[in-house]
Amino acid sequence: MGMKEEFHEAEAWVEKSLTFNKDYEVTVFETTIRMVGGLLAAFSLSGNKMFLTKAEDIGTRLMPAFDTPSQMAAASVNLQTGKRAYLSWMAGRVVLSEVGSVQLEMRHLSASTGNTVFKQKGDAAMDKILSQSPVRTGLYGDVMDGNSGSPTSQRAGVGAFSDSFYEYLLKLWLQSDRKETKYRDAWDAFVEGAHQNLFRKQGQRTFITSTSESHMMEHLACFLPGAMALGSATALEGTKGFENKERDLRTARELMDTCFELYRSQPTGLAADTVSLNGAGGFQNSDSTYKLRPETAESLYWLHAVTGDAMYRDNAWAIYNAIQDNCNAAKFGGAGFGAYPNVASKGSAPNDKMESFFLGETLKYLFMIFDDTYSSLDFFKDKIITTEAHVLLFKGGPEGKR
């Protein structure tokens, strides 16, 4: 973005002030995708090994969480003592999206440092998941026993407990330079299972439900059009993905239109966090909050990168302006941007909370779609982008552009 002065200010703070030697319990998933991934991306794109040293430090402190009978990480770990814990309300169970969405970062950390333990721990968790039988075609149970690794629920879908696991199947294959076909095969099986169990055609519109039994669609699920477009564009001849690539891109475009309609249909131009489907192509807001989430902007970015269709830039510009109009706290004497309480009603003040993914993802995708350097698949020939929108090189080492 050309903001090098701001970057170097942050760089100095990280070097001098950031320490992870704290008697503090952190979530393994969030810490991996935000902190480990963020530090690794800063290293990849700047070449400053200080970022890598910090990433290795926090990564090492997370490792005790993986020392479980199932080899899947417990939900949290104390950064100083290494004591791991499960969420009290989960009673020793773990969530698919959490244990299956740390591998890109762990593999990159091993490739960059030469310390294989990170990759080994992450891969063992993923292997345990994939060793289980899907509860439906290509769809894995979204909650598992932390000791055995076996699913404790027949619920499967693309809701909050599952979403990024499926994204990582595709991206792990890409990160491996398309060599580890087990991940691509699992992705293709998921896409087939989603067509069979999750997609809903209502009138002329395509929706995707959180689970096969649900009539709810989450904003979180709007990552899928972009992932499916990327999967379609990268499919190799002789595979199921290549055979279905035209169908999958068509479905991606249809679902992308629905995700944007969630914005376009509201007086504020913002989308509700969840909607319920009411037949005939309609929907009703369920959770009417716009939480600054990035998934629709993310998919608009990938659809534009794959197709070059200017419509996706137009849609991204509309969302950007809606965020400025409704979520900018400066209009109410504050600073930053806040979640909007009710997308169906204009004129409210934004909530006094801004999630880090707004800066790290939402604004990043809205910038990248308009910058020709980043707005095509050429930019990602040797790079991957994590679920938290951190750019990592396939081979781990720094790009060295400061």
CB atoms inside a 10 Å sphere around CB 237? 7
Among the listed residues 109, 165, 133, 186, the one whose alpha carbon sits nearest the alpha carbon of residue 393:
109
List the structure tokens of 105. 């970062």
Distance of alpha carbon 305 from alpha carbon 308, whole angstroms: 6
Q: Say how far apart CA 371 and CA 23 lie, in whole Å.
A: 42
Active-site pick, 56, 98, 142, 163: 163
CA distance 341 to 347: 10
Reply yes or no on whether 30 is catalytic.
yes
Catalytic residue chosen out of the listed positions 25, 30, 287, 325: 30
Residue 167 contacts residue 227 (beta carbons within 8 Å): yes
Rounded to the nearest angstrom, the gap between the alpha carbon of residue 286 and the centroid of all alpha carbons in its chain is 22
Has 382 been annotated as catalytic?
A: no
Distance CA 74, CA 87 (A): 9
Q: Which of 142, 167, 295, 388 is catalytic?
A: 295
Q: d(Cα 380, Cα 386) in Å, to the nearest integer?
A: 12
146 with 72: CB under 8 angstroms?
yes
In 47-180, where does DSSP find H-type helix?
A: 49-62, 96-99, 103-113, 117-131, 163-175
Alpha-carbon Rg for the chain, nearest whole angstrom, is: 20
Quote the distance between the C-alpha of residue 294 and its chain's center.
9
Active site residue 61: no
Residue 308 region by backbone torsions, left for phi larger than 0, else alpha for psi between -120 and 50, else beta:
left
Can 34 be counted among the known catalytic residues?
Answer: yes
Q: Where are the beta strands (DSSP E) in 64-115?
A: 76-78, 84-85, 93-95
């055609």: which residue's tokens? 201
Positions marked active-site: 30, 34, 163, 295
